[in-house]
A and B are shown apart, each in its own frame.
Chain A
Amino acid sequence: MTSEKLTAAQQLHAQEQRDESQRYAFLLDWSTRLGVLALLLAFASYVFGILPPHVPLDQLPSLWNLPVDSYLQRTATPAGWGWLALAFHGDLSNLVGIGLLAGSSIAPLLGLMLLYAKRKDWVYAVICAVIFAVLLLAASGLLTGGH
Chain B
Amino acid sequence: MLKFFSRALASLQQLGLLAAVVWMTTLPAHAAGSVVPASSMPWWFWPLALFVTCFLIGIVAVPAGIGGGTLFVPIIGGFFPFHLDFVRGAGLLVALASALAAGPMLLRGGLASVRLALPLALLACMSSIVGALLGLALPASVIQIALGLIVLGIVALMLAAKKSEFPHVAQPDRLSSALGIHGVFVDGASGRAIDWQVHRTPLGLVVFLLIGVMAGMFGIGAGWANVPALNLLMGVPLKVSAGTSGLVLSLVDSSAAWVYLNRGAVLPMITVPSVVGMMLGARIGARLLHVLKGSVIRKMVITLLLFAGLRALLKGLGVWI
Residues of A near any B CB (own CB < 8 A): 1-4, 6, 10, 13-14, 17-18, 20-22, 24-26, 28-29, 32, 35-36, 39-40, 42-43, 46, 57-62, 64-68, 70-72, 77-81, 83, 91-92, 94-95, 98-99, 101-105, 112, 123-124, 127-128, 130-131, 134-135, 137-139, 141, 143-144, 146
Instruction: Select which of B38, B114, B254 is within 8 A of A62 by beta carbon.
Output: B38
Q: Give the residue of B38, B119, B140 whose beta carbon is less than 8 angstroms from that of A127.
A: B119
Chain A residues touching B, majority SS: helix
Known: A6-B184, A32-B100, A143-B133. A79 touches B115 (CB 8 A): no
Q: How long is the Cα–Cα vector from A31 to B101 in the complex, in angstroms? A: 11
Task: Give the chain B neighbours of A58 by CB distance below 8 A.
Answer: 42-43
**Once bound together, how far apart are the Cα atoms of A22 and B109, in whole Å?**
10
Q: Are B262 and A102 in contact (CB under 8 A)?
A: no
Residue of B nearest to A18 (CB): B110
Contact between B118 and A128, CB atoms less than 8 A apart: yes
Does B268 contact A64, Cβ atoms closer than 8 Å? no
Q: Is B261 touching A95 in the complex (CB atoms < 8 A)? A: yes
Nearest-CB residue, chain B, relative to A31: B100
Most buried by A among B85, B121, B255, B257: B255
Across the interface, which residues of B come within 8 angstroms of A72, CB to CB?
264
Question: Taking the complex as formed, is B215 at the interface, i.e. its CB lies under 8 A from any CB of chain A?
Answer: no
How many angstroms between the C-alpha atoms of A136 and B257 in the bound complex? 12
Q: A91–B271 Cα gap in the complex (Å)?
A: 11
The A-B contact count (CB < 8 A) is: 216
Q: A26-B104, A144-B259 are in contact. Are A60 and B269 (CB under 8 A)?
A: yes
Additional A-B contact list (17), CB under 8 Å, known A2-B194, A18-B110, A65-B82: A24-B114, A28-B103, A32-B100, A42-B268, A65-B38, A66-B83, A67-B83, A67-B140, A95-B268, A101-B93, A102-B96, A112-B114, A131-B121, A138-B258, A138-B259, A139-B262, A141-B262
**Residues of the B chain whose Cβ atoms lie less than 8 Å from the Cβ of A2:** 166, 192-195
Q: Which residues of the other chain, B, contact A42 by a CB distance below 8 angstroms? A: 268
* CB–CB B193/A17 < 8 A: no
Give the interface centre of A14, A18, A59, A65 by most chain B CB atoms within 10 Å: A65
- Which residue of the partner chain, among A26, A65, A94, A127, contacts B118 with CB atoms under 8 Å? A127
